[in-house]
A and B are shown apart, each in its own frame.
Chain A
Amino acid sequence: AQKVTQAQTEISVVEKEDVTLDCVYETRDTTYYLFWYKQPPSGELVFLIRRNSFDEQNEISGRYSWNFQKSTSSFNFTITASQVVDSAVYFCALSEANTGRRALTFGSGTRLQVQP
């Protein structure tokens, strides 16, 4: 069965610090998809990124970057020069291609607090 682990329950940083959110996943499928979502205090889940299992290329989008490593089953998320607006709960999620289930399996989330 699939599983996503976000070991960091809560992280607190000061503005402008870099921060990395860890995500480790388990799956028996050979084709799968990984996601990061942001849930700000308003509550609505916001899609950030999707990677498929065949594409290990790291991605950068502004201050955000993602490091996908199949060898360690990890898909970590780094925020560079954090800002107060980055304060939110961040969820890593997984879906599988060959199990028939298209739904997302979420990690338990990491609450990031960025202090001014």
Chain B
Amino acid sequence: GAGVSQSPSNKVTEKGKDVELRCDPISGHTALYWYRQSLGQGLEFLIYFQGNSAPDKSGLPSDRFSAERTGGSVSTLTIQRTQQEDSAVYLCASSREILGNEQFFGPGTRLTVL
């Protein structure tokens, strides 16, 4: 079975542009998470989806960040009007929704905002 996949693997954009990052979770995993990893902030939680429940958006750093998950599978993280401080590796993870279950991570998307 395939693992978590993310696209693109690298994205370079200009400040002020919008970007979309995609995540395909492991088949059968109902929980999906977005994190970002940057030098100054380490690994930070962004947003979490579980089935049809309202997503936990408590980690989103600003209203420029949003995410959706269509059909309980693929998720897209959108960053509007990108800023240089948005440069980071954006990681997606999925898990079976059993309390405390391990999360499996994708390879990440490296975003560079010039």
Chain A contact-residue range equals: 20 to 34
- B89 lies within 8 A of chain A by Cβ: yes
- Interface contacts (Cβ under 8 Å), in number, total 60
Whether B59 pairs with A50 at a CB distance below 8 angstroms is no
**How many residues on chain B are close to A (CB under 8 Å)?**
26
Chain A window 38-68, contacts with chain B (Cβ cutoff 8 Å), 1 for yes, 0 for no: 0000011111001010000000000000000
A71 to B96 Cα, complex, angstroms: 30
B residues at A contact (CB < 8 Å): 31, 33, 35, 42-43, 45, 48, 50, 56, 58-59, 89, 91, 93, 95, 97, 99-108
A to B CB contacts below 8 Å, 26 in the list: A33-B99, A33-B100, A43-B89, A43-B107, A43-B108, A44-B105, A44-B108, A45-B93, A47-B102, A50-B101, A50-B102, A91-B43, A97-B99, A97-B100, A101-B56, A102-B48, A102-B50, A102-B97, A103-B35, A103-B48, A103-B59, A104-B45, A105-B45, A107-B42, A108-B42, A109-B43
